[in-house]
Amino acid sequence: MLILISTLSMADGSKVPPPNGDQCVEDPSWMRTHHFETILHQRDETVIRGIRTTEHSLKNCIDCHITPNAEGEYARYSNDEEHFCASCHSFAAVSIDCFQCHSDRPEKAVREAIKRHQANGINPHHGMQKSVSDLIFNSNLQAVQAK
Amino acid sequence: MNKVVSKAYQLLPKFKASSGASCDQDLDQSKRSFLGGLVGASGLAIAPGVMLYETANAKPADQAVTDAVRWGMLVNTNQCTEECDACVTACNDEHGLWPQEGSTTDSQWIRKLTVTDPATKHSKSFPVMCQHCEHPPCVDVCPTGASFKRDDGIVLVNMHTCIGCRYCMMACPYKARSFVHEVLENQLPHTPRGKGCVDSCNMCVHKVDAGENTTACAEACQKDGHQAIVFGDLNDPNSEISQRLREFGGTQIRADLGLNTGVRYQGL
């Protein structure tokens, strides 16, 4: 476990912009290995019982940890090692599907992106991001077509 | 007790006379059980101030919702105009339901309907969204329990457990639910939604939980000056929605199904 934690710590690459605030809601070393437990617990509490404490909510993680880089750009989970979650998950080879539905950026960043899209005449929902199943399906399709 | 309740119920002939045929029974039943839970209707009439209701103030974030409140909406179709779609636009903007180019399967959480009486050619335009039934058919049929009713009456899809089977879409008499067919991008943080799940009007649950006591559609309708949509607590006799319902009555769409909807209409 110690090795795991130390490797995970190493994965906190310097590419990730610093978070807002200076203290995590839990001990960071515990968070590195257990954050999914709190998120899993919180999701049912929130959806089913309407409990909206922000301490362990995914939205709060994002609001704090996903900050703009020097150019003012917000990193994306799908294709960016600057994204706080992605930086570690890609290092540890963890695949999650949280961000197929949940926003990987704070609301401000999403609203800005939507404005940019609309100004350029692009539909905000038109997916640049492909789901894993789409990628598998497409690669299978190509394989079939190649035959 | 039963005698007291039924006797007290006779004091409300207007309500009884104004509603449809078979739905009366269900309305009566729900009204009875509601009154029954409150030491009888006479107590309600004599000393309304004595009854303890949770008012529509914000609940503390760390506390679960309770059935002390039942959120609902009242749509006055007399104030709704055919050319206005402020409620639809506001809903789309609030929840990030951007229309997909060329897609015929965009999620519709709220839509405007215009109905015409074939005999008189009289037309009405009004919004239809999830009716937040007390007895929701979508909940009955869901094989995973993902479609559920919160204690405060809001009917939701728990997308963590939705398997996208779409039984709920079949079961819903109001066609209120949509299936997300395509990969989405730029979802808003307070409204997570994605491919493979069913979604529908959530009565702006994030606003309700934050104590804002309104929905995007109701807000937009107010702003637009039509003031056709009122949001409020159906359990609170002093709320605007309850007062309006008491004074003017309200009908349910497909009241014959006996679902006791949380969304009521005037002028239909």
DSSP calls for B243-264:
HHHHHH--B-TTGGG----SEE
- Global pTM reads 0.77
- Which of B133-137, B165-169, B183-187 is predicted with the least confidence, judged by mean pLDDT? B183-187
Q: Give dist(CA A37, CA A35) in Å, integer.
A: 5
Taking CA atoms, B60 is separated from B150, B166, B184, in Å, by 17, 34, 32
Class of residue B169 by CB neighbours under 10 A (exposed 0-12, middle 13-18, buried 19+) = middle
| Domain parsing of chain B, residue ranges | 1-52, 53-266
The one-digit pLDDT tens for each residue of chain A (147 residues) are 444 444 444 444 457 888 998 899 999 999 999 999 999 999 999 999 999 998 899 999 999 999 999 888 999 998 778 899 999 998 899 999 999 999 999 999 999 988 888 887 766 665 444 344 444 444 444 555 555
Q: Do A114 and B186 touch (CB under 8 A)?
A: yes
Q: Which residue of B has its CA nearest to A118?
A: B98
Q: Give dist(CA B232, CA A59) in Å, integer.
A: 27
Torsion of CA B155, B160, B163, B164, to 10 degrees: 60
Q: Give dist(CA B188, CA B173) in Å, integer.
A: 29
- Which of B40-44, B134-138, B231-235 is predicted with the least confidence, judged by mean pLDDT? B40-44
Question: Could you tell me where the DSSP H helices lie in A1-147?
Answer: 2-11, 28-49, 58-65, 84-92, 98-101, 107-119, 132-146
pLDDT tens for B30-78 read 544 544 444 333 333 334 443 444 444 568 888 999 999 999 999 999 9
ipTM: 0.76
Q: Is the dihedral of CA B163, B166, B172, B177 positive or negative?
A: positive
Q: Give dist(CA B266, CA B74) in Å, integer.
A: 7
Cβ-contact B212, B218 below 8 angstroms: no
Strand, helix or coil for residue B116: strand
Taking CA atoms, B192 is separated from A58, B35, B138, B139, in Å, by 11, 38, 20, 20
Nearest 5°: CA angle at A23, between A20 and A24?
90
Q: Do B187 and A129 touch (CB under 8 A)?
A: no
Q: Which CATH class for the B53-266 domain?
A: alpha beta
Cβ-contact B9, B39 below 8 angstroms: no
Q: Do A101 and B187 touch (CB under 8 A)?
A: yes
Q: What is the pLDDT of residue B234?
A: 97
Name the band, by pLDDT with cuts 50, 70 and 90, for residue B98: confident
The residue-averaged pLDDT of B8-15 equals: 34
Q: Give dist(CA B23, CA A139) in Å, integer.
A: 55
Q: What is the pLDDT of residue A118?
A: 80
Class of residue A1 by CB neighbours under 10 A (exposed 0-12, middle 13-18, buried 19+) = exposed
Closest-CA distance of chain A to residue B149, Å: 8
Q: What is the pLDDT of residue A115?
A: 87
Share of chain B above pLDDT 90, in %: 70
Q: What is the pLDDT of residue A117?
A: 81
Distant-in-sequence, close-in-space partners of B177: CB < 8 Å, separation ≥ 6: B130, B138, B157, B168, B169, B198, B199, B200
Mutate: best of B186, B187, B188, B205, partner A, most A CBs <10 A: B186
* Mean of per-residue pLDDT scores for chain B: 83
- Kindly list the residues from chain A whose CB atom is less than 8 angstroms away from the CB atom of residue B209: 50, 52
Strand, helix or coil for residue B98: coil
Name the band, by pLDDT with cuts 50, 70 and 90, for residue B22: very low
Q: Give dist(CA B59, CA B54) in Å, integer.
A: 9
Q: Is A126 on the interface with B (CB under 8 A)?
A: yes
**Length of chain A in terms of residues written:** 147
Q: What is the pLDDT of residue B57?
A: 58
Structural tokens at position B231: 């949001």
B101 or A50: whose pLDDT is higher?
A50
Q: Give dist(CA B133, CA B149) in Å, integer.
A: 9
Name the band, by pLDDT with cuts 50, 70 and 90, for residue B145: very high
Residue B83 in this model has a pLDDT that exceeds 80? yes
Question: Could you tell me where the DSSP H helices lie in chain B?
Answer: 2-9, 13-18, 23-36, 41-46, 86-95, 137-141, 167-171, 205-209, 216-223, 240-248
